[in-house]
Amino acid sequence: MPQLVDVLHLGSPHVIGVYVLDGPEPALVDCGPAVCAEALEKGLQALGLPLQDVRHVILTHVHPDHAGAAGALVRCNPGLQVHVSDVGAPHLVDPTRLEQSARRLYGDEFDRIFGAIVPAPPENVHVLGDRILHLEVLPTPGHAWHHVSFLDSEGACYTGDVAACVLPPGRFLYPASAPPGIDLKAWEASLDAIEARRPSVLRLTHFGEVADPPAHLARTRERLREWAERVRNGATVDEFAAAAEDELQAEADGTAELYRQLPSFELSYAGLRRYLDKHVKREERS
C-alpha cells in the first residue's frame, strides 16, 4: 500500500504530498519543491526508508511545487532515477527557462515558496513511455501541456494537478490554472480519459486520497467551466478573484490560509484569460 508523506510546505500540513511506492525498487510520485527536501527526507526516514534507498522519482509534471526538489535529491542520492515526459525532461537537465518563467509569475516570493532548482544530471533523467514500474502512464494535458497521470493495477490514479486541488479538511476545489500551459479543451479531454478508466481512488498531490472519483471529476469540470465563463463574460481580474474568494470562504472549513500557498486566484485568472484570448484568435483566423 503506498504511503503519503506530507512535506509540510512552509511548515503547513495538507498542502503538498509525495506518494511513496514500496517494492524492490522504491519510488516517489512527485517530490515537492526544493524547500521541502529536508521534510521529505525526514518523512521517508519515519517510514523506515532512507532517501539513499529510493530508486525512482516519477513526475506528473515539472512545475516547481511538484518537481523542484528532483535535482537536489539526485545530488544526495546519485543512484536516483527521475522519470518525466519528453517535454519536461530538458527542463530538469537545464531548469533555466523553467525557473525564469516561474520567477516572472511569483516574483520575490519564488525563493520562499520553492527554493533553488538544481539541475539533474542527464544520465539520471529518463523519458516516460507507456509504463513505469507497475504504473500505466496516461497523458493528461490541460493544467500543463506535458502533464501525465499514473494508474496502478489496483485502480488508483495519481493525478498531479489535472484533477484540481482540495486541501483537507476543506472542501474547496481549486483547479489552479496559472499560465502559460493552460488548455481548457485538453483539460476536459484529460478528465474524460481518467473517468473512462474508472479509477477506484484519486491520489492528489494537493492533497491526499479522493474516495469518490466520479463526483470529484464532475466538480472539477463544473468549476473549470464556471471560472472560464466568468472570464469569457468579461470579469476583471479583481472581480474574478473576489468571486473565487467567496467560494473559498464558503468551502474552506478553516483551511483558507493553506490555499494561499497555491497559485493565487489572480494567476489562475491570467492563465484562463491567456487561453481564451488565444482561442478567440484561432477562431478568427479559421
232's grid cell: 469569457
User: Which long-range contacts (C-beta less than 8 Å, at least 24 apart) are formed by 117-121?
Assistant: 117/34, 117/64, 117/68, 117/71, 118/34, 118/71, 118/72, 118/75, 119/71, 119/92, 119/93, 119/94, 119/95, 120/70, 120/71, 120/74, 120/82, 120/92, 120/93, 121/74, 121/78, 121/93
pLDDT at 281 (0 to 100): 58
Q: What is the mean pLDDT of residues 179-187?
A: 96
CB atoms within 10 A of CB 193: 15
Q: Of 25 and 285, which is predicted with more confidence?
A: 25
Q: What pTM value is reported for the model?
A: 0.96
pLDDT at 280 (0 to 100): 63
3-class SS at 269? helix
Q: What is the mean pLDDT of residues 65-75?
A: 98
Q: What percent of the chain is modeled with pLDDT above 90?
A: 97
pLDDT tens profile 45-54: 999 999 999 9
pLDDT tens profile 116-160: 999 999 999 999 999 999 999 999 999 999 999 999 999 999 999
Distance from C-alpha of 236 to C-alpha of 239, rounded to nearest angstrom = 5
Run of H or E residues at 131: strand 131-132
CATH of domain 3-222: 3.60.15.10
CA dihedral 152, 158, 159, 164 (to 10 degrees): 130
